[in-house]
Amino acid sequence: MAGVDIDGVDYVYRGVDAGRTVALHGVDLHVDPGESVCLIGPSGCGKSTLLELVAGLRRPSSGRVLVDGAAVAGPRQGTGYIPQGGGLLPWRDVLANAALGLEIQHTPRAQRLAAAQQALETVGLSGRARAFPAELSGGMRQRLALARCLAARCDVILADEPFSALDALTREQMQAVMLDLWRQLGYTQIMVTHSVEEAVWLGGRVVVMSSSPGRVHGIVANPEVGTDGWRGSAQFAARCAQVRDLLGEAAA
């Protein structure tokens, strides 16, 4: 598995008429191989931008981002990125969507379809291989987005608010799916969320970011993640309260 290092990262958006917006400033974060980390913070604090930097979709204005010890200069073969909405291609069926990452990597057709079918089985979608995204429920579409990463054997999975559009029941079901897959497969996971409960349910650490420009305001260790009865425990509620207190400070 691959670790992630973010060292002194700034990111500046440059607009028209020499305008500039400092989205991130002095961000330092280390994510161990196989760790699950959730990023949370006020709207506009640069959480999604930070995820895009790790994905290689943007380059830092200063500082550096490393995955598996190598500087990120562009999209990395072993890094899976799930944008808001899932990023599915509506004109491709479920199997073809799951195989997309391998197709981009020029994997032979038979091999990539076999890997995609196996990934669909892992997320419980093997019976919908010939359906199209519009024919799937919201939860199924998120399972498909995960399957695309699994088919490509990603050792780092980045997810930007993957469950924000789901109803409460489906959201909890998908949180359980994501937790189970991470525990079974052991990949490194970084997820952006606006939900305190989601962050404490899925993150071995919860990183609280400050208002713009985004910085790491505090990190809450959450070693009980994945243990039986965690969501219903008094300690879970106390951990959520701790994260909320930090969020209040970060937004002040």
How many helices, marked H, and strands, marked E, lie in the chain? 8, 10
DSSP 67-134: ETTEE--S--TTEEEE-TT----TTS-HHHHHTHHHHHTT--HHHHHHHHHHHHHHTT-GGGTTS-GG
Q: Are 175 and 198 within 8 A, CB to CB?
A: yes
Whether the predicted pLDDT of 13 surpasses 90: no
Query: What pLDDT score does 199 carry?
Result: 96
79-82 and 70-71 beta bridge pairing: unpaired
Host H or E run for residue 165: none
Q: Provide φ and ψ at 63, rounded to 5°.
A: 85, -170
Whether the predicted pLDDT of 216 surpasses 80: yes
Tell me: cis bond preceding 133? Omega within 30 of 0 counts: no
Query: What pLDDT score does 11 carry?
Result: 94
42-70 average pLDDT score: 94
Whether the predicted pLDDT of 238 surpasses 80: yes
Instruction: For the chain, list the domains and their CATH numbers.
Output: 4-78+155-251 (3.40.50.300), 88-153 (no CATH)
Q: In angstroms, rounded to a whole number, what is the distance separating the alpha carbons of residues 79 and 27?
A: 20
Whether the predicted pLDDT of 15 surpasses 70: no
Query: What pLDDT score does 86 carry?
Result: 87
Q: What pLDDT digit, counting tens, does each position of 105-154 carry?
A: 889 999 999 999 999 999 999 899 999 999 999 999 999 999 999 999 99
Neighbours of 247 (CB within 10 A): 22
Q: Are 132 and 90 within 8 A, CB to CB?
A: yes
Strand, coil or helix: what is 145?
A: helix
Query: What pLDDT score does 19 carry?
Result: 64
Question: Where residue 196 falls among pLDDT bands split at 50, 70, 90?
Answer: very high
Q: In angstroms, rounded to a whole number, what is the distance separating the alpha carbons of residues 80 and 217?
A: 26
62-75 average pLDDT score: 95
The residue written with tokens 């695309």 in the block is 148
Query: What pLDDT score does 16 carry?
Result: 58
* Beta strand segments in the chain, E: 4-14, 20-31, 36-40, 62-67, 70-71, 79-82, 156-160, 188-192, 205-209, 216-221
